[in-house]
Amino acid sequence: MDREQHELYEYAKDRIKQKKRLYFHFVLLFLGSIFLFIANNWLSFYPEKNWWLWAVTIWIFLFVLHGIKVFITDSFMNKNWERAQIDKLMLKQTKKIEQLKNDLENSKSTTP
């Protein structure tokens, strides 16, 4: 397997792992919501309030953030994006260094 194929394989492996964790998070959310409902209503754990709704709402919000990270953010801010950003910054630094060298040479040649 050459380097490019290996990078594609590693990227696919990481994406599968991210999606697998998201699906596990969903199952955990579902089962946890059922447990919280049962604890509140059937086991009479503070039955005078519906606290389980708040807990599940916060958990759903965290799940949505997890989904955004997996399907939106990480899909375009991947290793290729990082590599392009690094290349862009390195090119910018190289140009700046060249400009400073040219300015230094010009200042040396103009001073007597």
37-50 core/surface letters (b: 16 or more CB in 10 A; e: else): eebbeeeeeeeeee
The answer to whether residues 72 and 86 belong to one domain is no
Determine the pLDDT at residue 111: 62
- Kindly state whether residues 68 and 102 are assigned to the same domain: no
Same domain, 60 and 30: yes
Residues 12, 35, single domain; the answer is: yes
Amino acid 2: pLDDT:
83
Is residue 68 domain-shared with residue 96, that is, in the same domain?
no
Is residue 9 domain-shared with residue 56, that is, in the same domain? yes
Query: Cα–Cα distances in Å, from 37 out to 43, 46, 59, 62, 64?
Result: 9, 11, 13, 18, 20
The whole domain housing 90 covers 78-112
For the chain, how many structural domains are there in total? Answer: 2
- Taking a C-beta distance cutoff of 8 angstroms, is the pair 51, 40 a contact? yes
Residues 101 and 73 in one domain: no
Average pLDDT, the chain: 87
pLDDT band at 65 (very low <50, low <70, confident <90, very high): very high
What is the reported pTM? 0.67
- 48 and 8 together in one domain: yes
Does residue 27 sit in the same domain as residue 57? yes
pLDDT digits (tens, 9 = 90+) for 31-61: 999 999 998 888 876 777 888 899 999 999 9
